[in-house]
Amino acid sequence: MQGRSASAPSQIVTIDGVAASGKSSVSSGVARALGIPYLSSGLLYRAATLLALEDDADLNDEPAVLAALKTHPIRLEPLAEGNRVWQGTRDLTDDLHSTRVDHGVSVVAVLPGVRAWVNEQLRQVPPPFVAEGRDMGTNVFPHSAAKFYLTASPRVRAQRRAQERPEDVDAIEAALIRRDDLDRVQSAPAKDAHVIDTGPLDLDGVIQAILKRVMKD
């Protein structure tokens, strides 16, 4: 894990937002600028989904999903440049962004036992760090003094994701709208979060907006 830079803030920075709003790229950029790690809660939910799928478990069956996690223990490696998820010596990271995981992760993410497991993994990491997810500022680290929430229209997010995957923009947009509906309970801005519409901004613009606020606070 990276050491803290002399100018890094002592607090936890939380960056929440809707799917494909740029949370991971933004969190990585903010963390690198501050010289601290970032934590991706989404990768842990995706890892739980992947392991359950590989065990042929019903994703709605919480005991079965938790059994897959117990049978195949995983470890999050929180680096500023990008998190990795390991199952022993196997690097799961690249497999976590497959279409089948995309389709299943919202189902797994609403399971209370899985959410408790993910939150426990994150809370074991000593600050300072940037925490990225759906409810970092509202549930996992509500005491954070620097909270941000990223949003953008489904079309903008679909166009961005289409640049990463050989899929139709309309299909991606439809999937994101369904995902938004499923995530609505977990994903909402904290009352004291700074909401940023990433639609009109490029990646560096979002990062700089967050850094300006973090260093000001």
pLDDT surpassing 60 at residue 5:
no
Q: Is residue 159 part of a domain?
A: yes
pTM of the complete model:
0.81
pLDDT value, residue 2: 41
Mean of pLDDT over the chain? 90
| Structural domain of 157 | 13-211
Q: Is residue 217 part of a domain?
A: no
pLDDT surpassing 50 at residue 4:
no
8 confidence band (pLDDT: 50, 70, 90): very low
Q: How many CB atoms lie within 10 A of CB 21?
A: 26
Q: Is residue 182 part of a domain?
A: yes
Q: Is residue 124 part of a domain?
A: yes
Query: What CATH number is given to the structural domain containing 149?
Result: 3.40.50.300
Long-range contacts, 178-183 (Cβ 8 Å, 24+): 179/19, 179/106, 180/18, 180/19, 180/154, 182/106, 182/107, 182/110, 183/18, 183/19, 183/106, 183/109, 183/134
pLDDT tens for 128-159 read 999 999 899 999 999 998 999 999 999 999 99
Q: Is residue 122 part of a domain?
A: yes
pLDDT value, residue 82: 80
Helix (H, G, I), strand (E, B) or coil at 20: coil
Mean pLDDT, range 30-41, rounded to an integer: 92
181 confidence band (pLDDT: 50, 70, 90): confident
Q: Is residue 154 part of a domain?
A: yes
pLDDT tens for 21-33 read 989 899 999 999 9
Mean pLDDT, range 83-95, rounded to an integer: 95
pLDDT surpassing 80 at residue 67:
yes
The residue among 83, 85, 186 whose CA lies nearest residue 129 is 83
Percentage of residues in the chain with pLDDT exceeding 90?
70
Q: Is residue 4 part of a domain?
A: no
pLDDT value, residue 153: 94
Q: Which residues contact 96 (CB under 8 A, 6 or more apart)?
A: 43, 46, 47, 50, 85
Q: Is residue 147 part of a domain?
A: yes
Number of domains in the chain: 1
